[in-house]
Structure 1
């Protein structure tokens, strides 16, 4: 993953990250509120060696004390020191329990022992710390052998009595909140990165570019009302979705202008990626720009084109391929422009054989001679081989890729299905692109997101099915797809 990928992760997962940070802060606060306050009191004792006072003896005594003071500090947490404290203060705990609340430490090179005691009561913490210092002094005096004069060579002096603490040492509410927030942030980043890494769906052009080098010709914004109005370029011509089909038409113009064949197969990896509605809308905007266009419903298994365009589909491509009818007899003109539609006709028992037959090849050549652009709406590539076979005899396939719908493995399989039979992949068209978020449709290579008045009210004139914007002048004729000879 490069920097761009990480930035995309942050943009896509910021809600999760923020939620986990807030959760961490909340848990830190709750932990602080539920924790029992513990107070810390400390006393200090000085360990020294009694000597006659000569320089040599003082030096030896100092070295001896520094070497032994760590052992003396370990004595503090033993029952020998703690049990007299428990008896003196009448504490209802054992020496082992008390030892877990007592710390004894000494800095390197010093002979001062710091005794710390934590307790739920500030007064009790101070009393225990002072009692331990006193008990420690007595225990050391009793266990160190006396000299010839009967005096213990080691002397324990209390340097600092423990004072009653005014504030609890734990919990540290501020620290807990900060730690909770940091832990939540780290977890949020980890979850977002894992989510991005484990996400196998194609979400944007970056995912497509990692699978195929075919050019991305355009992107179609997702419209939840597609089922209600599949022909958006006719029903809502000023919407961002309609504008994206015009951009796709313009990009497709360059393919046709490069002396390539004028016929293309529109297909997808799996069903439900919007290939049929995209085919119909692309054909309409292409014909409206002055290009003589024909679109053929080559999905001989589940034809939808005639239904979307409101045409009779009882006779069509299958009748032409088996010799029952001529193209001119079954193709139908649609709208006021040079757009012709050849429905699928009756569903045959052998669709793949018909689409790969010599009759199909001859039909393609005939249509390319009569029309400026020939579009085939073919079945998805993964379930059946129809589209791959048909694309071999045309200028290639225009592969519709549903953002968030198709998986990367499925897209790889679709590209491989075309490659395995020698068919070309003319280009990729992203469909179902979200309108919000880091993978959203908007300004950029896919087209324009401002919509030219999208969202304004429309009215229907009596006796006409065409809608016009209230108070708007008629749109100018668009520049666009010029006929290619």
Structure 2
């Protein structure tokens, strides 16, 4: 018998949850695709156009230590100047769009390719034309600003040189005047001559520098690749948004599938019975091995092998004196009938005397047909007739035609079943069957429908739960386990099967039966070698009715 173990969290558990709830992941992924498409349609379109500018050094350029290029131009500084306020004002003047310089500066970005003196100026706008015009305007504004700055620095140097030339010219005029009045050959004349030579040399140098500056052509750079009209928007990216939406939807679907699996109260797999219900699983039936209701399983079929293994495990789990096994279900249905009949047949095939009792009392004769049809016996008389005192034990016991060692007490005909499962007559019947030897398998109603299953379990030595997947729920399984524990019945485990499809009562052909006349005094008839226990039961029943022997 398989021992309970803690819930596992391996990859198969998550794959099983995904297999059972694949539709949630599919719907969530579809919703993510739709959301990505909607976001793409609602997002404003953004176009980008880029202009490449070759930056040339001018006299005022100085490169910071550690710059990315070895030239005089520091491109990192120039990239910051492109988005400056002065350049943005000039770009706004060129565009004539009425947009503030701050907004224009936010739409421009600059990239510096490695090991080059090139600036790539990119402008974003809501139309291709605006993007192209904006990129070109910022490139022109940057070059103009750079040229104006260089021209201003050059003019400043020219003004400074002119002032110095003017000063030197005045000084030289004064020296010449003083030299004219000096005594020839005197020391004063020698000093004035030396001063005049120095001033003349400085004036010549400044004049040459001034001539060079006045003839210098200022050029801070040039456009080497002008902005082009973009054909497609750079944002939103349709495939990126749809792909991201699908991924987010898939992740959300997986989370929802796991949460549904985690908080689902239904029992979907045998692992749920074992891990979430903490009940050992004795056998697991699938769609192929689950028997039909119109016949008992063949011993060598797929289901027959399952019940043969179940029989072996049950026999290994029973104590030497254990004889009575009750089979009950966790939900309304015929799962307990199916398991009890096939287990009794498997036990009887070993040669042991087995009595199968259908204790799920019916509301009509038609309800008793499935068990009778499965084993090929008459639906009446049965347990309800026996407990009501209309027939004796020998009349209620019927031998199955295909398995001679298996005898059956069907549920019987329609009767008022209130209190019959708690009556002393049932206890005496089970005691008499226990005295005959062999095994007794009781097919009990589900623990969720009435307290009869608990009452029958209190008279049994062991119990087996029949669990229909997708019909049974975890609280019902826990309640069934607790009911059996409270009466001290040892639970061997559960037999798990898929949800059964039972024929409707209108589709079941009710067998022709003749109910025997009520007899308050059942006669102690012989019962195929079991006369003594039957007579004892009859005597007990007579004493309970107030009769004297």
Is this a same-fold pair by TM over 0.5?
yes
Q: Displacement of 1:203 after TM fit?
A: 1.8
1:230: Cα distance to partner? Answer: 0.5
Q: List per-residue Cα deviations over 1:214-272 (Å, max 9, x = no partner).
A: 4322123347997xx403435x776534543344333333234x415111111112202
Q: Distance in 2 between matches of 1:38 and 1:65?
A: 26
In 2: Cα distance, 1:114 partner to 1:123 partner? 18
Q: Pick the structure with greater CA Rg.
A: 2
Equivalent position to 2:17, from 2, 9, 31: 9
Q: 2:85 aligns with which of 75, 78, 83?
A: 75
Report the 3-state secondary structure (helix = DSSP H, G, I; strand = E; otherwise coil) of the residue aligned with 2:50. strand
Task: Give, in whole Å, the separation in 2 of the partners of 1:282 and 1:100.
Answer: 84
How many residues get paired? 419
TM-superposed CA distance for 1:116, in Å, is: 0.9
Query: Is 1:381 equivalent to 2:482 in the alignment?
Result: no
The Cα RMSD (Å) is: 4.9
Structure-to-structure mapping, 1:214-233, within 5 angstroms: 214-222=279-287, 229-233=292-296
- In 1, the alpha carbon distance for the partners of 2:155 and 2:301 equals 107
Task: State whether residues 38 and 170 of structure 1, in contact with CA within 8 Å, keep that contact through their aligned partners in structure 2.
Answer: yes
Instruction: Report the Cα distance in structure 1 between the residues aligned to 2:122 and 2:396, rounded to whole angstroms.
Output: 98
- Separation of aligned partners in 2, 1:77 and 1:377: 93
The equivalences for 1:90-101 within 5 A come to: 94=99, 99=104
**Is it true that 1:128 corresponds to 2:191 in the alignment?**
no
Is residue 401 of structure 2 the alignment partner of residue 335 of structure 1? yes
Secondary structure class of the residue paired with 2:83: helix
Partner of 1:104, secondary structure, is strand
Task: Please name the residue that 1:425 is paired with.
Answer: 491
Matching residue within 348, 364, 373 for 2:416: 348
**Do the aligned residues in 1 keep the contact of 2:469 with 2:499 (CA within 8 Å)?**
yes
Cα separation, partners in 2 of 1:27 and 1:340, compared to 1, 3 Å: same
Structure 2 unaligned blocks of 5 or more: 1-8, 66-71, 159-217, 501-549
Taking the aligned partners of 2:424 and 2:274, their CA distance within structure 1 comes to 35
Q: How does 1:214-293 map to 2 (within 5 A)?
A: 214-222=279-287, 229-233=292-296, 240-256=302-318, 258-272=319-333, 274-293=335-354
Greater per-residue helix proportion = 2
CA distance in 1, matches of 2:411, 2:281: 28
Question: Are residues 97 and 383 of structure 1, via their aligned partners in 2, closer, same or farther at CA, if it must alter by over 3 Å?
Answer: farther
> Residues 261-317 of structure 1: CA distance to partner in whole angstroms, max 9, x if unpaired?
111111112202622233233333433443321111212365844543145445433
How do 1:440-459 residues align onto structure 2 when only pairs under 5 Å count?
A: none
Structure with the larger strand share? 1
What is the aligned partner in structure 2 of residue 299 from structure 1?
360
Q: Does 1:415 align with 2:481?
A: yes
Gaps of 5+ in 1: 57-61, 435-485
Distance 1:63 1:100 in 2: 23
* Structure 2 residue aligned with 1:85: 94
Shift, 1:150, TM fit: 5.2
* Distance in 2 separating the partners of 1:144 and 1:413: 91
Alpha-carbon distance in structure 2 between the residues aligned to 1:344 and 1:55: 102
What is the distance in 2 between the residues matched to 1:230 and 1:386?
23
Q: State the TM-score, normalizing by the size of structure 1.
A: 0.68
Equivalent of residue 269 in structure 2, options 197, 204, 212:
204
Matched, 1:104 2:109: yes
| Alpha-carbon spacing, 1:104–1:63, altered in 2? closer, same or farther (3 Å) | same
Write out aligned runs for 1:464-475 (5 A): none
TM-score of the aligned structures, taking structure 2 as reference length: 0.61
